[in-house]
Amino acid sequence: DAEGRFTFVSEELLERTDVACEALLGFGFGDDSPLSVELHELTQLQKAQAERVPFRHITFDVRGADGTMHHMRINGEPALDGGDFVGWRGVGSDVTAAVVAERRIGELARFDTLTGLPNRHHFLELLERQLQRARQGDRSFALFFIDLDRFKWVNDNLGHAAGDQLLRTVTRRLLRLLREGDVLARLGGDEFVVVAETLCDGDTLSKIASRLVAAAAEPMTIDGQRVQVSASIGVGVYPHDGADGDTLLRAADHAMYQAKAAGKNTFAFHTRELSQRARHHFSLEGDLRLAAEHGQLVLHYQPQVNAMTGEIVGMEALLRWRHPEHGLLMPASFIELAEESGLIVGLGRWALNQACAQLAAWRAMGLEPPPCAVNVSRRQLEDESLVDDVRSALAQHALEPRLLRVEVTENLLMADTMTSQVVLEALKELGVELSLDDFGTGHSSLAYLKRFPISELKIDRSFVMGLPDSVEDVAITRAVVAMAHSLGLKVVAEGVETPAQHQMLRLMGCDELQGHLFGRPTDALELETLLSVGRDAPPAANVA
Ligand code: C2E
Ligand code: MG
Ligand code: MG
């Protein structure tokens, strides 16, 4: 009618759309109508009414007989009765499917389909809103730029479906860490970003960042395979590192690259002072980063002797750091830091090359060095480059693989990441023997020992220390030797300090011994002397 109310609806409406005619009859589009229209459509209708002209594409919502919402779209032409305007006549259609699709398209344009997170485009809008709030309230906030470290490897080796699952898993974990009001978005590929309104001091930000790093680094199971990735995170702070979105994102992105350069699986701040204040060992970390370059790293070598003859049958390379201020640092004071920061990968590579170079140098002097063991951390085993590093170090110094041994700790095997198993197999394949260090301190089981291609066990010093008096340690050591032998493994005892320990271990059938009794870790020059003495007369006499 002339007021814009439905006076007639053809019966087909119900048949075709499930909307009853009664839902429309008598209703218009005013304030108190159950038929809802958008404001601009109401304006068009009111204009049509005032000027008695046609209207087009008015879309309104109405409930169907089963309660679901339908979207109807109508047109109207002015209807005249003997020249008098009496209302409109027109047709309508149910456009529900189209409207739903339109809304979905709108969503697709703003959200990432894989993870359901805001995409880059929408994130920039959200960041803009956050910036406005921060400017008004004179508040700061932090932006964490997150890049996964081994995503490409997973995608390439396990397939894209696995890659997708990994991204969803990481998303779930990151979401769990967020607080109300924080934003997590996926910028694309393996890049995520978190915006959090928080105290922006170094401690707080470090805590948040390390939680994010830890969440990404937790192993996960994809298709029955254990997979582990890590994240490198860059932190930018508003307004300190950037007063607009662009600058802030660039600052955090730049810091992310620093985290990558520091060995991955870590975070870095855009602001250097913040970094220094944030982590009390940051300067040590910074120094450690340059230690190899500045020639501050050294390897010391500790002999391993045959338990029966006392002859030097092997040695272990142990890392030392000649710090310009703190003096000679033992691994206990920096290995953990190196592992946390990812620097261990570079240090380990250095140690590997150095040990090979030393073996070659001894050879060139006419000495016949026994095999040298190098310690390898978990992080190195998780890096696929280890096998290539070992291969090229051996090749570069023209050494047979049997001259190099790799020591891994028991806990590393327990972590049981897919890569470490593959890497260990590949090393074995190369001809490099593997020994299991610090045995007895972890929680490995026989099943684990059988699964990995190990050829020797090193009984941890803590058991050897109790010999010969502690009944328990004696029992454990004896059992370990028997068990190892039954698995075809050689046994080395660590930390042998007294002749009594030596005697007992020999009686138990332990194959090789290492400890202060036979020689402390010493620099290459001193070991050289030992080796040349050994060539002339076996040092068994020194021991007895
Ligand atoms: P580890 O591989 O179990 O090395 C044996 C440790 O026991 C060495 O400590 C050695 O000096 C010490 N030791 C040997 N005989 C005796 C003894 O009779 N009495 C006593 N009290 N101690 C003895 P160090 O050199 O301080 O190294 C500690 C740990 O640091 C090593 O334990 C190893 O896990 C790690 N490490 C050393 N160098 C490297 C390296 O190049 N890379 C990695 N990833 N870790 C390393
Ligand atoms: Mg060792
Ligand atoms: Mg050990």
**For atom 20 of ligand 1, which residue has the closest CA?**
495
Q: Which atom of ligand 1 is nearest to the CA of 497?
A: 18
- Encode pLDDT of 103-143 as tens digits: 888 888 899 999 999 999 999 999 999 999 999 988 899 99
Length of the chain: 544
Flag whether pLDDT at 52 surpasses 80.
yes
Task: Identify whether the C-beta of residue 489 lies closer than 8 Å to the C-beta of residue 449.
Answer: yes
Instruction: Tell me how far the alpha carbon of residue 375 lies from the centroid of ligand 2, in angstroms.
Output: 5
For 20-37, what is each residue's pLDDT tens digit? 888 899 999 877 888 888
Number of Cβ within 10 Å of residue 124's Cβ equals: 15
Between the CA of 473 and the centroid of ligand 1 the distance, in Å, is 21
**Which of 6-10, 426-430, 540-544 has the weakest average pLDDT?**
540-544
Report how far ligand 2's centroid is from the alpha carbon of 407 (Å).
6
Ligand 1 midpoint to CA 497 (Å): 14
542 has pLDDT over 70: no
Q: Is the pTM of this model over 0.85?
A: no
CA–centroid distance, residue 386 to ligand 1 (Å): 21
Kindly report the protein residue whose alpha carbon is nearest to atom 33 of ligand 1: 375
Query: Which of the four pLDDT bands, split at 50, 70 and 90, describes residue 175?
Result: very high
By the 8 A CB rule, do 145 and 201 touch?
no
Mean pLDDT of 310-335: 90
Q: At residue 296, does pLDDT exceed 50? A: yes
Nearest CA to ligand 1 atom 4: 318
Ligand 1 atom showing the smallest separation from residue 521 Cα: 11
pLDDT surpasses 70 at 438:
yes
Q: What is the CA(353)–ligand 2 centre distance, in A?
A: 17
Say whether the peptide bond before residue 468 is cis (omega within 30 degrees of 0).
yes
Residue nearest to atom 11 of ligand 1 (CA): 521
Percent of the chain whose pLDDT exceeds 90: 56
pLDDT, residue 540, reads 47
Atom of ligand 1 nearest to the CA of 299: 41
**Percent with pLDDT over 70 in the chain:** 93
Who lines ligand 1 at CB under 6 A?
Answer: 302, 318-319, 330-332, 335, 344, 348, 351, 375-377, 407, 437-438, 461, 494-497, 514-516, 521
pLDDT band at 13 (very low <50, low <70, confident <90, very high): confident
Q: Kindly indicate the confidence band of residue 272, based on its pLDDT and cuts at 50, 70 and 90.
A: low
Q: Please give the mean pLDDT across all residues of the chain.
A: 88
Burial 473-483 (b: 16+ CB within 10 A, else e): bbebbbebbee
Most informative mutation of 301, 329, 375 for ligand 1 (most atoms within 8 A of CB): 375
Residue type (1 letter), 289: R
Query: What was the pLDDT predicted at 502?
Result: 97
Does 536 have pLDDT greater than 80?
no
Check pLDDT > 90 for residue 233.
yes
Neighbours of 445 (CB within 10 A): 10
What is the pLDDT at residue 364?
A: 94
Counting atoms of ligand 1 from 1, which one is nearest the CA of 516?
Answer: 18
At 537 the pLDDT is 46
Residue of 297, 300, 318 with the most ligand 1 atoms within 8 Å of its CB, for mutation: 318
Distance 317 CA to ligand 1 centre (A): 9
Asked if pLDDT for residue 275 goes beyond 50, the answer is yes
Q: From CA 301, how far away is CA 519, in angstroms rounded?
A: 9
CA distance 436 to 89: 88
For ligand 1, what atom is nearest to the CA of residue 319?
38
Residue 430 predicted with pLDDT over 60: yes
For residue 283, is pLDDT > 80?
A: no
Of all helices (H) and strands (E), which one includes residue 8? none
User: 437 alpha carbon to ligand 2 midpoint, in Å?
Assistant: 5
> How far apart are the C-alpha atoms of 17 and 72, rounded to whole Å?
9
Please report which helix (H) or strand (E) contains residue 386, including its range: helix 385-396
**Comparing 275-289, 460-474, 491-505, which segment has the lowest mean pLDDT?**
275-289
214-223, 326-335, 387-396: which is most confident: 387-396
Residue with the smallest CA separation from ligand 1 atom 43 is 375
Would you state the pLDDT for residue 274?
Answer: 55
